[in-house]
Amino acid sequence: MTFDIAEYTETAHRVPTEDVDFGSFGELPLSDSALRCLRYMSDVESHTICYLRDLLVTPSHKDPEVTAFLTMWAYEEFWHGEALDAVLRAHRVNADYGHIRHVRLAQGFRDRIAPIEQSLAANIIGEDFVAVHMSWGAINEWSAHSAYAMLIEREKHPELTKLLRRIQHQESRHLAFYNSQARDRLERSERARKLTRFALRRFWAPVGSTIQPKVETRFVLDYLMGGAEGAKHISRLDRKVDTLPGQQGLELVSTAVGRFGVGPKAVQEQPQRPGLAARLLPEVRRVVESARVAVF
């Protein structure tokens, strides 16, 4: 499987919104639940530049194809956030740079040490870390695409559908790159397969859950992935993860969303997270230990 990075860099663009009738939301508004989901999705899309910051301190930045993709990926994701914010503003929901600043500041000290964690673990691990990054990206893109599909199905609003289909189209191109890179790197390295399996099983969580309160993640997952139809999407995502070399049988998505009380593996009781002071040293120790285990 190959991906034409030159063609992608030439054709990457902001998601078109000129013909979206945002005024129609005044006559046919979205449900409160959908607006809550869009708020969450917009926050995630707008946080892409922060994820990019963390990735540029890892070996991924040495590969020119990867950095060419990431440049255009961040550009398109920025406009996804802007497009979703336009829908929110049509419903008189606050959606401006002040809100984005609030989300970023709310990450606190944990956000400041994130690049250090990434750099420490990734550079100890070396080139095989890129396989983890690409696999992680593919799973996140599968998840995002599925979430947009479920929101389209839940709301059945023609203008929202038009906009989200366009975002999905761009997400599909992002997925094609991540998927191509992940498969290639996993197929040629047993160490990369083992490292990726370890990292996914230990650390992967639903998109946005690291920057949003648990109650918001739980709500969005339940609204989009709850019930019988949602369970089908969860199962489909697990099967897609199974197609990545060396990642079969993880039940990754069902296990992760189950921790938020959603899906066939739902866990109702959530453990209380300790405070930052209690987490900080064990967190740094975990990163160092996971890197050591991965190397040896």
169-195: pLDDT as tens digits: 999 999 999 999 999 999 999 999 999
Rounded distance, CA 67 to CA 59, Å?
11
Amino acid letter, residue 287: V
46 half-sphere exposure, CB direction, 13 A CA radius: 23
Distance from C-alpha of 150 to C-alpha of 145, rounded to nearest angstrom: 9
Q: Which residues contact 113 (CB under 8 A, 6 or more apart)?
A: 280, 283, 284
- Does residue 180 contact residue 1 with C-beta atoms inside 8 Å? yes
- What is d(CA 216, CA 39) in angstroms, rounded to the nearest whole number? 10
Handedness of CA 34, 37, 39, 41 (dihedral sign): negative
CA separation for the pair 86, 35 (Å, rounded): 12
| CA 150 – CA 225 distance, rounded (Å) | 8
- The span from the CA of 252 to the CA of 197, in Å, is 10
One digit per residue, pLDDT tens: the chain, 296 residues? 589 999 999 999 999 999 999 999 999 999 999 999 999 999 999 999 999 999 999 999 999 999 999 999 999 999 999 999 999 999 999 999 999 999 999 999 989 998 998 898 898 899 999 999 999 999 999 999 999 999 999 999 999 999 999 999 999 999 999 999 999 999 999 999 999 999 999 999 999 999 999 999 999 999 999 999 999 999 999 999 999 999 999 999 999 999 999 999 998 655 445 443 444 445 444 544 444 444 33
Of 166, 227, 241, 214, which is closest to residue 13 (Cα–Cα)? Answer: 166
Q: Is 296 helix (H, G, I), strand (E, B) or coil?
A: coil
Say how far apart CA 45 and CA 28 lie, in whole Å.
Answer: 25
Distance (Å, rounded) from C-alpha 61 to C-alpha 141? 20
DSSP state at residue 47: T
Q: Please give the Cα distance from 149 to 224 (Å, whole number).
A: 9
How far is it, in rounded angstroms, from Cα 87 to Cα 94?
A: 11
8 A C-beta contact, residue 150 and residue 225: yes
- CB-based contacts of 120: which residues, under 8 Å, 6+ apart? 287, 288, 291
